[in-house]
Structure 1
Amino acid sequence: MGLEHTGVLDAFAYDSRRDLLVLAMYETRPWGKEDQQILQLQEKLNAYASFILDGEMAESFPQYAGKTVEIQLRTRHLPDPLALGLLQQAREQFALQQIQLETIQIDPAEEVLPDATGSCGCGGNTCC
């Protein structure tokens, strides 16, 4: 789980209070220390977009079809300027598809684990 696993949906939840789906990705590494990190972020964002826009999400979770979707980058460290630039570009592109993109700094003590069932919630058999 995390940016280094670009083909994995880290977390999926329905926020009934806001009536939207949340797809979360996690990054625990400091930003700007690994050359591959920005590429991994881009690949993970593309994978999430594909999951939403290509119909896989609606097929896997038909009960949520038509709901607003928010992608969250949940990170222990504030993104560096390069990552912030990529996130802003992605945010603008996602907005054209009515998809929200948020960056949330999480407490470094927070454990980043799949839910109690051991599943990330994506419906696939290869994730967790």
Structure 2
Amino acid sequence: MSVVDTDSIDAIGMEKEAKRVFLSIIDSLVWDRDDVHLFTLQEKINTYLYFIESGELIKALPDAAGYDIAIELILKHMPTDQAITFFDKTTQILLDKGIIFVFGPNKNAGYAEQQS
């Protein structure tokens, strides 16, 4: 799964000690000038939001009831300034709904642009 599969959830994980569920989006797209990447990402986040708000998350993972929920965006490419602005707005919108939004590079390798 990946960000281009806008109607599906890429990955779900739980941190039982922290009582947090992570819904991960795997994003390997390169940033473009026409904002196709941002529109695709917005569709994907809306799918995740529906999955959470409709109760589908708890149906799929009953142990997640009462846990904090985080949408984690795992980026391959360093975001543009426009993407960062979008992420800031998304963070606030989701926080207002009680959902955490985090984004960043692959935890081990960093952004593709940083690899040698």
Q: TM-score when scaled to structure 1?
A: 0.78
Q: Is the 8 A contact 1:20 1:68 kept in 2?
A: yes
Tell me which residue corresponds to 1:72: 72
The percentage of aligned residue pairs carrying the same residue is 24
Look up the SS of the partner of 1:78 in the other structure. Answer: coil
Q: Which amino acid aligns with 2:91?
A: R
Distance 2:34 2:2 in 1: 14
Distance 2:32 2:56 in 1: 32
Tell me which residue corresponds to 2:114: none
Structure 1 residue 33 displacement after superposition:
5.5
- Structure 1 gaps, min length 5: 110-128
Kindly report structure 1 stretches of 4+ aligned residues shifted beyond 3 Å.
none
Q: Which has the higher helix share?
A: 2
Distance 2:86 2:44 in 1: 12
Tell me which residue corresponds to 2:103: 103
Structure 1 residue 104 displacement after superposition:
1.8
Structure 1 residue 68 displacement after superposition:
0.2
Tell me which residue corresponds to 2:25: 25
Q: Is the 8 A contact 1:32 1:80 kept in 2?
A: no
Q: Which amino acid aligns with 2:29?
A: R
> 2:54 aligned with 1:41, yes or no?
no
Structure 1 residue 108 displacement after superposition:
6.3
Structure 1 residue 35 displacement after superposition:
3.8
Q: Is the 8 A contact 1:6 1:43 kept in 2?
A: yes
Tell me which residue corresponds to 2:5: 5
Distance 1:83 1:35 in 2: 9
Tell me which residue corresponds to 1:53: 53
Q: Which amino acid aligns with 1:20?
A: R
Distance 2:19 2:38 in 1: 31
Q: TM-score when scaled to structure 2?
A: 0.85
Distance 1:38 1:79 in 2: 10
Distance 1:47 1:62 in 2: 19
Look up the SS of the partner of 2:66 in the other structure. Answer: coil
- Structure 2 gaps, min length 5: 112-116
